[in-house]
Amino acid sequence: MSSSAQLPRRCWVEIDLAALERNLKLIRASLPPRIKYVAVVKADAYGHGLPQVAARLMHAGADLFGVANIAEAMTIRELSTDWPVLLLSPVLPDEDRYLAEFDLAATVSSPDEVRRFDAIGRAAGRPIAVHLKIDTGMGRLGVWHPGARALYDAIIAAPGLHLAGVFTHFSSADEDPAFTAEQRRIFLATLATLPGLSDRNILIHADNSAGLETTPGESVFNAVRVGLLQFGILPHPHSLLARTRTEPVFSFHTRVGLVKTLPSGTSISYGRTQHLTRDSRIAVLTAGYGDGLARASSGQASVLISGRRCAVLGRITMDQTMVDVTDVPGEVACGDAVVLVGRQGQAEISISEFSAWADTIAWETLCSVTKRVPRHYRTALET
Ligand SMILES: Cc1ncc(COP(=O)(O)O)c(C=O)c1O
């Protein structure tokens, strides 16, 4: 019996791992050599597939992986027993023991975490690596900056802990350079209050993809945490990082399931939100919100067929989406290829554009492609 993996494709994602490798190398080349590369691969590597992405990033030379939870960390451990892994989200009390079992670094924001992780390190007879997080204006994890000194002292005094890093996170690096500069200033001023910090061999990091643009090159920073950019997506359209020319790793595809002609005036799809204003050829695509085409983008979105943009008509439904192919030259036929995100001939739909149609961001779009959509991996490096 055939397995579902062998079935013809009707809605799928292509992941170009060779582009991912090139992207990491380009980003690295644009940074000073001393800067360590923390590859942020949480949420199934932004929907690209954690085991495949992490394996390729190991090959490409990522120094450390940032993940959200223990399950993601375990996936990395299945690939490597000792590649450094940092948990970027809080650890729950009943998860503490896995820090020792899988040799994971934890983010520390509170005295309670110091106490818990210290106990685990002592019991294991091997200190737990921790990164002290300082909240400089994100209002999420981290100790609020005036409390950093006390927490730092508590970590240094804890025999079950090993301070491996100090970091902060920018809340608006892609939209508010002035606030980002203020966060950076607060972080640097707070670091200056931590005694003996410069004698410690630790990672000091703040920048995510968008933060990289505002890095003024202070010598104190020696690591960056890169998520979106390594997947070839710029945090915003006018990004200075456009000069690094990273390439999209992700593309999203479906096919034509039916083509038919309908008379002017016919309403299309649920709720009758759109009526044809001319006699039209419409194509019914074999993908809908059950695959990750946001219903909110109904009335906004387009797709590529035969290298032409075709507007989505009416509401996107669970498994099918109607598009206008009246102006596509030549025959559009059942089975034809449709690009939802990516290139077809000279035409392109970027993930940022696709996301904007649904009033969302690329990060969320990547996490919204559903389980039933197979990921196909391109692995070869072009020569
Ligand atoms: C703490 C932290 N660092 C770094 C990143 C990577 O951000 P980006 O995808 O913008 O590079 C994230 C992503 O959400 C994050 O939460």
CATH number at residue 268: 2.40.37.10
> In the predicted model, what is the mean pLDDT of residues 153-159?
98
25 is catalytic: no
Instruction: Decide if 287 is inside a domain.
Output: yes
User: pLDDT per residue over 16-52, tens digit each?
Assistant: 999 999 999 999 988 888 899 999 999 999 999 999 9
* CA 99 – ligand 1 centroid, Å: 21
Q: Answer whether 352's CB lies under 8 Å from 231's CB.
A: no
Instruction: Decide if 22 is inside a domain.
Output: no
Going from the C-alpha of 133 to that of each of 47, 110, 113, 118, 278, the distances in angstroms are 26, 9, 12, 16, 59
Indicate left, alpha or beta for 77 from its phi (over 0: left) and psi (-120 to 50: alpha).
Answer: alpha
* CA 296 – ligand 1 centroid, Å: 25
- Given 25, 36, 37, 42, which residue is catalytic? 42
Instruction: Decide if 245 is inside a domain.
Output: no
User: pLDDT per residue over 176-204, tens digit each?
Assistant: 989 999 999 999 999 999 999 999 999 99
Q: Is the dihedral of CA 259, 265, 270, 274 positive or negative?
A: positive
Number of domains observed in the structure of the chain: 2
- Kindly indicate the confidence band of residue 216, based on its pLDDT and cuts at 50, 70 and 90: low
* Residues 221 and 327 reside in one and the same domain: no
Instruction: Decide if 5 is inside a domain.
Output: no
| 318 is known to lie in a ligand binding site | yes
Instruction: Decide if 18 is inside a domain.
Output: no
* Residues 159 and 229 reside in one and the same domain: yes
Instruction: Decide if 25 is inside a domain.
Output: no
* CA 170 – ligand 1 centroid, Å: 9
d(CA 314, CA 298): 6
Q: Is the dihedral of CA 353, 358, 360, 362 positive or negative?
A: negative
Other residues' Cβ atoms within 10 Å of the Cβ of residue 95: 16
In this structure, the residues whose C-beta lies within 6 A of any atom of ligand 1 are: 40, 88, 169, 208-210, 225-229, 235
Going from the C-alpha of 310 to that of each of 107, 329, 332, 352, the distances in angstroms are 47, 12, 12, 18
Domain end (from 169, 203, 235): 235
What's the confidence (pLDDT) of residue 217?
A: 60
* Residues 132 and 264 reside in one and the same domain: no
d(CA 259, CA 280): 10
> Quick check: 242 pLDDT over 70?
no
Structural domain boundaries, residue 94: 31-235
* Residues 254 and 229 reside in one and the same domain: no
**Local structure of 295: helix, strand or coil:** helix
> Quick check: 161 pLDDT over 90?
yes
Ligand 1 atom at minimal distance to the Cα of residue 174: 10
**Local structure of 80: helix, strand or coil:** coil
* Residues 225 and 260 reside in one and the same domain: no
Percent of the chain scored above 90 by pLDDT? 87
270 is catalytic: yes
Instruction: Decide if 244 is inside a domain.
Output: no
Nearby residues of 131 by Cβ (< 8 Å), 6 or more positions away: 86, 105, 106, 107, 108, 163, 164, 165, 166, 167, 203
* Residues 40 and 170 reside in one and the same domain: yes
d(CA 167, CA 252): 35
Identify the H or E element spanning 280: strand 280-285
Instruction: Decide if 231 is inside a domain.
Output: yes
* Residues 278 and 228 reside in one and the same domain: no
| 149 is known to lie in a ligand binding site | no
* Residues 218 and 343 reside in one and the same domain: no
Q: Which amino acid is at 104?
A: L
* Residues 216 and 291 reside in one and the same domain: no
